[in-house]
Structure formats: C-alpha cells, structure tokens
Amino acid sequence: MLLSAGGLLAACGGSSKTAASPAQTATTAVKRGGTLRVGVVTNGNAETLDVRKAINTPDYLRTDNLYDPLFTQVVGGVAPGLATSAEPNKDASVWILKLRPGVHWHDGKPFTAQDVVFTINSWNSTDSYFQPLASSIIDFKGVRALDAHTVRVPLIKPAAEFPTILSWYNGYVVQHGTKNFNKPVGTGPFVFESFKPGSSSTFTANPDYWRGAPNVDRLVVDSSFTADPARLNALLSGSLDIAPGVPPALAKANASTGKLVLGNAPGPGFIAITMRLDQPPFTDARVVQAMKLLTDRQAFVDQVFDGYATPGNDSIGATLKYWASDLKPEHDPEKAKSLLKAAGHDGLSFTLLTSPVVPGMVESGTLWAEQAGHAGVKANLKQLSPSVYYASANPGYLTGQRPISVNYWNVLPPSLAGFYLEALNAKAPFNETTWGKRAGEDTLFNEALAETDTAKAADKWHAVQEEQAAKGGYAVVANNNYLDAYAPNVHGVKTTSAGSNSNYDYHAAWLS
C-alpha cells in the first residue's frame, strides 16, 4: 500500500534533492517570523500535553517544545539542559546536579532546585510513565535541594551514565506544585496557546527563552492525519513545512521530486523478532541461536526498509556510546537446521505475532517467516490490531502468551544504560525477552552500569553486548534510520542520530 501511495506522490516529478539536513546547505541570513507547521499521524483523543504520560510522536513533539529536560539528547549522548553539570561521588551512587541560573517559567516565576526536587519525586508516582525506570535506580527519599540551584540525587545502585537517563521524555522538568497539565507552564522555547487532541495545537514563541527567542513566531502541530501519504501530500502542496518520521517506501518514492528535502540519518531504533526466554521452545539456547542464524539481516534492509536502515547484530543501541559495532551476526540456515535437530525441534512450528503499529513490522514478520522456512521452521504469521498489540488483552504483551513476536523501538534512551534499564534486566519495565530473570544474567550489566573509568566501561559494555548477541532473546532484523521530510524553505533543524528534527527541537528553525 505504501509503495503505491508513494508512487502517486512521486508523480509530481522534479530533480533530486536528498540531504542529511536542510540546514547543511543554507547560506542566507536567518529570517525571523512566520509560522512553522509540523504534521504527524494522529493518535486521536489519546493525545496529551501531560509530559508524564507522553507516549507517542504527537505527544513528544509538543512536550519537547513546552518543557526542558535536565540534559538534552544530542549526537553521541547528552548535553546540558536545565542542569549545567552532574557530578558523581567516587562510585557514581550519588549525583550533585548544578542547575542553570536565570531561567524563568512561562508565567514569569524563576526556575529553582525546588522545581527539580518536585519533578524527580513525581517520577515515583504511577501517574508517570517514567516511574518503572526511575524507581529502579533513584533513591527518592534522599533527593533534596542543597541550595537554590543545586540538587543531590542518591541512587539505589551506581550508574555512571546517570545524566543520560535524566534526558528521557517523561522526565522533563515541571513547575513545583503542578497538578493541571491541560494548560501547561514550562520553561521551553514555545508557550502554550491552544490544544485539541487528534486535531491541532498552537504554541507561540517564548521571547525570554534561556537559549534565546525562537526564530519563528508560532509553532502549529497538525495531528489530524490518519495516514502518511496524506501527510506527504500536504507537505508537497505547501500546507505543511515538516513531516517527521516518513516511512521508507514513501521516502524512497519522493526523494527525487525536488519538492522536499529528505533528512536521513542512522539511528538506534530497531525492529526485532522477540523471543521470551522463559517460554518453550526458547528456553533452549540452541533454539534461540538457530532463530538468529536463519535471519538474513541485509535482506530486511533492502526489501523492507528500501535501504534506509542498517543490519541488526542483536546488540541493541546502534550509534550510541559503547555500542559494539564490531559484532557481526552469522547467517547460516543449515547450521540452524542442525541445532534445531539436536534440540529435538526438527520441523519446529509456532505462531509469530505482528501488527501494523509502525511501518515495517508486518513486512518484517512476513520476510522472517519466509527465511525461517529455509531452515525447516514454520512460522505462522498472525496479525493483531494496533489498538491491542501492546495491551494486556489476550495474548497479552509482556506475558507468556507471546513466546515469539515482532516488536519495535523507535525511541531509545541516549545510552546503553538507559535501554538496558528499560528492557534488558530483571527489573526492567519492558522486559520483552525476560532477560535477567535467570541467575547471573544481570551480573555483567550491573558491572558495566557502575563503571566510571571510560576505557574499562567500554570493555565491560562490550562483554554485555557479546552475551546479549549470543544468548539474548532479540533477533534484530534492522536498525531503523530516522527519516524526515522538509519543505525546501525550512532551515535550522536537522535529522541526526539523536532523533527526528533535532529531536523535535524547533528553537532554531526558520523559514526563507
């Protein structure tokens, strides 16, 4: 469907104009004023301005421009945000945050340490989607302000990359005492004006923003689109300026129209065949290894992602610090057959769940089932509705009802530590593979998490990833590229490995 729709859009014709970022070739002086219009696929009435509960692109995009994090995500890790520094004690079990002076909330109140203490303590509530991760590492009862711009944060266990965790979407800083998020008051580059879930919102430039006033006067987020082709057509017709997160088929079909600039950068997001290691037959390490061996990763890059991806290596975190890019998966269907026979699973058959939650999930399931057949495995593909795929309804997500399924992560914390805390240790809230539940599986992770010496940390994180690639429950078929479409007159915003649209940062965007 996407290919045919993309072909229709590409019929506009024109010369090739593909780039990593439209800002790279801009040579004219910055022009101030105007309205920046960004279009995203709707999440309907479920959309929210509550930063604690942001869970999809429309939510992230809005809250990223109303609020600020303590540390902001950039290529290679994080940079200072509302915190100017984070200093650990000797073993990284206690951190001292120095906060940025001279910052004001949209209502004029000064930003202080009390706001940060209030925000961190709010993470320990079930009202926050950040609670499962934050509570696994932060000792909340010891968090306190040392002065107006200094906060002490003790941890349950040492974490050398703790500042990267403070950049997570649901952890952006809110004003002390905030209870109502319907009319948010943040410190971000734009100020709330209006919001209609599943339709649109309008924000105005914050003239007193601590990084300097935005270049555009207004930011309009249009979340009324129900399909990507309509969103691309709106950009091509001139009614949108930016369309973040373009499906690969549409990106390929429209890269040479001359009516848009395609932002394209490798990223850590991925699609994986996900095996629960506590459910047979994946309790047998030989079966898990066979599933990895039968997977031809380059075929997914070429056939599912149209080249806008990189092959997976079953070590999560492509482009992130310490990622083990040297690990190269083996493709050997015959060896997979031999392992399955030795494990007593010759002629193995199972149901493989998938869903069109994001582009590529169903296609990846289809291609993997075909590849499995070459190793004598019958993977019966079953599609579930996107509305229930990540719900608790039978077959429930994160339950034994899903021994094997196709899953995705489009947005990752900007460190291996962050992702492993989210998904790959015994207490991880989204432990799809159940890794860490068995004795000893978290040992290497905890050692790497605590290591403060950079060289030693690199070695320890490599050992973690070697173990994961060999024994873990993810068969990563591909790491997704970030793909964004820009009107040719958009400048000052990039597509990088840190995320779409400078991680939805429109502070420096301008229109020529």
Q: What is the pLDDT of residue 27?
A: 56
The β-bridge relationship of strands 150-154 and 144-147 is antiparallel
* 139-185 per-position pLDDT tens digit: 999 999 999 999 999 999 999 999 999 999 999 999 999 999 999 99
The average pLDDT across 283-309 equals: 97
**Residue from 429, 430, 356 nearest 387 by CA:** 356
pLDDT score of 18 more than 60: no
Residue 183 to residues 65, 71, 107, 211, 357, Cα–Cα distance (Å): 14, 24, 11, 23, 30
Bridge partner list, 274:
405, 474
- Cβ(279)–Cβ(433) below 8 Å: no
Q: Are 68 and 105 in contact (CB under 8 A)?
A: no
Over 80: is that where the pLDDT of 13 sits? no
CB 371 within 8 A of CB 332: no
Closest CA to 358 of 479, 245, 217, 190: 245
Measured at the alpha carbon of residue 15, what is the angle toward residues 11 and 17, in degrees to the nearest 5?
Answer: 105
pLDDT digits (tens, 9 = 90+) for 460-506: 999 999 999 999 999 999 999 999 999 999 999 999 999 999 899 99
The CA-based diameter of the chain, rounded to the nearest angstrom, is: 69
Asked whether the beta carbons of 57 and 488 are under 8 A apart, the reply is: no
Question: Look-up: residue for tokens 């549409």?
Answer: 250
Percent share of the chain, pLDDT over 70: 95
C-alpha closest to that of 237 among 485, 494, 503, 498:
485
Question: pLDDT tens digits, residue range 341-362?
Answer: 999 999 999 999 999 988 899 9
Q: What structural domains does the chain harbor?
A: 77-118+132-171 (3.90.76.10), 266-481 (3.10.105.10)
Bin 252: left if φ > 0, else alpha if -120 < ψ < 50, else beta: alpha
Q: Is the pLDDT of residue 93 over 90?
A: yes
Closest by Cα among 94, 100, 207 to 152: 94
Cα 130 to Cα 126, 168, 226, 273, 394: the distances in Å are 9, 8, 28, 25, 25
Asked if residue 372 has pLDDT above 70, the reply is: yes
What mean pLDDT is reported for the chain?
92
Please provide the DSSP assignment of 112-173 as one string. -HHHHHHHHHHTTSTT-TTHHHHHTTB-GGG-EEEETTEEEEEBSS--TTHHHHTT-GGG--
For 187, half-sphere exposure in the C-beta direction (CA atoms, 13 angstrom radius) is 25
Give the span between the Cα atoms of 454 and 462, in whole angstroms: 12
Residues 6+ apart with CB under 8 A from 39: 221, 222, 223, 225, 231, 234, 235, 240, 242, 243
- What is the reported pTM? 0.89
Tell me if 305 sits within 8 A of 299, measured CB to CB.
no
Tokens of 358: 């994001």
pLDDT higher than threshold 80 for residue 202:
yes
pLDDT at 206 over 80: yes
Evaluate if residue 11 carries a pLDDT over 80.
no
